[in-house]
A and B are shown apart, each in its own frame.
Chain A
Amino acid sequence: MGFLSFSSLWFLISLPLIVLMYLFKRKYIDTVVSSHLLWNKVLRDIEANRPWQKLQNNLLLFLQLLVASFLVMVLMQPFLWVQGNHSKSHVVMVLDRSGSMQTQVSDEDGNVKTKLELAKEQILKQVNDQPSSQYSIVTIGDQPRVVLSKESDYKTISEVLNDIDVYYGQTAYKESLSLVSSLTRQEEDGEIIIYTDRQWTEDMSDLTFYVPVSVKSLSESKNSNVNIVQFGVEQAEMLSDELTATAVYTLKNQGQSEEEVEVFIYAEHQLQFVESVLLQPGQQQSFLTEDLRIADYYRLELNVDDDLKVDNISYAFSEKNETKTALLITEGNLFLEKALKLGDIKVIKVQIDSDGLMVLPKSDVDFIIVDAIDNVKLNSDEWNDLLFSKPVWYIDSLEGDEVVSLPSSDYKIIGHPVTEFISMQNIHISNAAILSDYDGGKPIVYSGDVPLIIAGTKDGYSQLIFTFNLHQSDLPLRVEFPILIQNAVEWLTNDAFDSIGQAVVGETLELAISPKTSKAQWYKQVNEQREFVTEAEETDQVILNLQTIPSEPGMYEFIEMDDNDNQLTRRYLEVVMDPFESNLDYLPELKLQQVNEIHELEVRKSSNGYDIYSIVPWLILLILIMVLLEWGVYQRGSAI
């Protein structure tokens, strides 16, 4: 039972008033008794709590109190929730299609279904039950999508529902509900029903709804799930000089029961390792497996009987522990060379031929360092091709607007992989160039307002710019210098791999596209076969650097081809579900605020398909009966 006007409870004050009136009422019939002797003794006990004793047997009073309290109840407008047979004219159904909706549950008949399928069935049942209403369907995915607006045809709705798929990326819950809330703001007779597993990350408490909202939860029973938290493979050189790989993987049991998991590790398609592990509820454990064959990528598969299957496969790419090669274009920088050697980096110095021109290196390099070389000297086509297809580190080599001297040693350092462990303390730099354009980079170290180090990407490759000459600074003499060099090299070469790494569905990915590339395609590894998925995104025949990654978890290949359909590069990408969706037991209470329109007595709120049923008329009837009863009592005399 609920109350529409709870504040009317104040009228309850009338009850003590009635009691007071009875207390003040003096209506005693004079009766002579021979002596008070015995009565005194009797009354001594009674008088101790006298005012209440007096009321004790007053039936009339009790009846009046009852009537008064019922009147207060009437003023509070009590109501009951009853099974609703009343349908709203417009029902907005919000369907959660996050990755966790892929969880398997069994319905009433025992059939195993995903929660999404179950939700669709429930929607269709609702439509079937109340065909007179109009239905809108909003799905929650990467963004809210109104897939159906004010439709009442069962067939259309069913068709639209069939096309709704699970979305594995990060889900925009709040945005969607906010949209739904504003959609229904002007609604006179509307209702919102949310079909979800309640596994929501965002707090909804500041959203306000203007029509009744109900949540159909699909997470009534506990689910079991084991997921792969981490999977990584590293190449290791063994004593026999034979290269092998070591895999490290972390598994977590998200469910409430003990799970036995069979672990399979494949090097590409070849099964390398099988193990069976036992995971306690909530347990997270890491495992190490050595002596794996060298391969481009590895697949970890769990064979376990859990409800969510999509997170049971993970891929890893072997991290090549190779020596990196740097192309150093410099007129001579002993400190830099030493620092690079310290970091186990192979340095190829550019030959300067007799004309003073620079000769292209013959061997392949991982990145290029341009140290205090006028950019103009590198303006040939061959050099440009090279500079645009490798990460480049410019040290005092880009043309600046002006050169300013830096008297102060007040440095501002912005967190970045390059500036990790770097404090720039007691370092003096005499002057730096101010660049007109950072070329898409972001300054990560400032001296005052002058940027000293700029990091960014250009054409998909990392680019690092030092605006000062190392020779005009005591930085190379400091302890931090080798660390800075190491950081810089690691950052520059990080994405020069032939794997792109891991990405969550829905993200966009910045890829380095070769200038020669005229066509690029996504392929997916399905059952040891390569399946074409889609062409890469392009505008005006140019492949975009920013690519939206495929929408289903799995192992993908991004293949670039030139004009003659020759394969230029092949890169691997693992697409995963939003890791949050694996945690099936995270079920926060959904708090949805609803505006109460007290002034409108006719407002009928409903929750979970229940309607308000006012019990005011019954109370009034009860009061009338009371009054009749009271009259009867009055006729007989007031006391019991």
Chain B
Amino acid sequence: MDVSNLSMDSTLLARLEQLKLNTRNRVRGKMQGKRRAEQMGSSLDFADYRLYSPGDDVRQLDWNAYGRTGKPFIKLFLDEQELQVNLYIDCSKSMDFDNKFLYARQLAASIGYIALAGYDRVSTHFFSDQVNASLPPIRGKGSFHRFLQFISKEIPRNKGDISKAILNPGAIPKKPGVTWIFSDFLYETGIEETISYLSAAGQQVVVVQILSPIEIKPNLSGDLQLIDSESHLGKEVAMSAKVLKMYEKELNSYTESLKKYCFDHLTDYFLVNTEKTISETVFQSFRASGILQ
């Protein structure tokens, strides 16, 4: 397994393998999976009895019950189906700051590995102002290598525009499932629109906001020309403790408002500081919230 450039070591992978993506709802998949599906199916888990009606599979008749009661009962089993997991990784230029992009991909790889190990279908997309690259749905641990190769070769580019990229009819997931978005969410507009669109498309959305320590607590001083990594526009600022304090306040209110929106829309939200290791983030933040089991 070539994990070198994303530095996914095997002990981490082994630990990840024990985790399982948790879903709030029973899923509706296409193929047999490990998930309890909404509809009755072919698993070994007994669910209920009901009276036979014409057209039912006679193989499902419970003869023992028929013998005891003289009525034909059909045994119902829960169906187990696969889960559709969509990973959206922001590859706009703003992610190419500090180690945010690498961190985002590592996190995505971890989630992807958990999903693949749990026999879920994983589709992966890189987006900036459009979906730059997509990996069609893959299944099984065996596909992890391909998955890793795909995410490791992507580089940040372009300006970001989350709503334009994801709300593109081609990019929006067609099947219900879980959608993870890894981004810094430093977008002027479109974040809320995107989340509500994805929710409407039957997705359980997990927002992972990745910020580097420099962004959370900038250590700047002097007269600075702040250049936007995406627009390349400059902004002259005479840094002072006051300005920095104002920035922190601004950042706080921004993340808080995002968090509140997500909470209101039954969306999981995580603010991730790239200072923390991947395993800390996954095993503490994610798992504690119950999104991983």
Contact = CB atoms under 8 A, between A and B. Distances in A.
A53 B184 contact: no
A30 to B, nearest CB: 5
A37 B225 contact: no
Interface stretch (B31-39, B58-66, B166-174, B235-243): B235-243
A56 B223 CA distance: 12
Given A38-B254, A639-B238, A32 B187 contact: no
Interface in A22-70: 27-43, 45-46, 53-54, 56-58
B237 A38 contact: no
Contact of A37 (B97, B186, B236, B243): B186
Contacts of B137: none
Nearest to B94: A34
Contacts of A46: 237, 243, 246
Contacts, number: 95
Contacts of B196: none
Given A639-B221, A639-B240, A31 B226 contact: yes
Interface in A379-432: none
A35 B184 CA distance: 10
A501 interface: no
B227 A35 contact: no
A640 interface: yes
Nearest to A37: B186
B266 interface: no
B279 to A, nearest CB: 25
Given A39-B247, A42-B246, A45-B246, A33 B227 contact: yes
Contact of A30 (B100, B187, B225, B243): B225
B234 A34 contact: no
Contacts of B247: 38-39, 42
B95 to A, nearest CB: 8
A31 B227 contact: yes
A39 B238 CA distance: 12
A588 interface: no
B233 interface: yes
Contacts of A58: 238
A637 interface: yes
Contact of B231 (A36, A38, A54): A36
A638 interface: yes
Given A42-B247, A42-B250, A36 B240 contact: no
Interface string B123-145: 00000000000000000000000
- Which of A27, A36, A46: most chain B CB closer than 10 A? A36
A58 to B, nearest CB: 8
A179 B221 CA distance: 73
Nearest to A55: B238
Interface in B238-263: 238-240, 243, 246-247, 250-251, 254
B184 A29 contact: no
Contacts of B250: 38, 41-42
Contacts of A37: 186-188, 254
Interface string A620-640: 000000000000000001111
B220 A31 contact: yes
B223 A35 contact: no
Contacts of B234: 28, 30
Contacts of A40: 235
Nearest to A27: B223
Given A35-B230, A41-B250, A29 B240 contact: no
Given A35-B184, A43-B235, A638 B222 contact: yes
Nearest to B225: A28
B12 interface: no
Given A638-B222, A639-B221, A34 B97 contact: yes
Contacts of B215: 33-34
Contacts of A43: 235, 237
Contacts of A53: 238
Interface string A84-98: 000000000000000
Contacts of A31: 220, 224-227
A400 B187 CA distance: 125
A28 B235 CA distance: 9
A252 B109 CA distance: 112
Interface string B49-72: 000000000000000000000000
A36 B222 contact: no
Contacts of A57: 238, 240
B192 interface: no
A625 to B, nearest CB: 26
Given A38-B251, A38-B254, A639-B222, A32 B229 contact: yes
A35 B94 contact: yes
Contacts of A638: 222-223
B275 interface: no
Contacts of B221: 637, 639
Contacts of B97: 32-34
A58 B238 CA distance: 9
Contact of A36 (B212, B233, B236): B233
A37 to B, nearest CB: 5
A58 B229 CA distance: 28
A36 B226 contact: yes
A288 B274 CA distance: 111
A28 B225 CA distance: 5
13 contacts: A30-B225, A33-B97, A33-B227, A34-B184, A35-B230, A36-B231, A37-B188, A38-B250, A39-B235, A42-B246, A53-B238, A54-B223, A58-B238
A-B residue pairs, 5 tightest by C-beta: A28-B225, A35-B186, A34-B97, A34-B94, A36-B228
Interface of B: 94-95, 97, 100, 184, 186-188, 212, 215, 218, 220-231, 233-240, 243, 246-247, 250-251, 254
Interface of A: 27-43, 45-46, 53-54, 56-58, 637-640
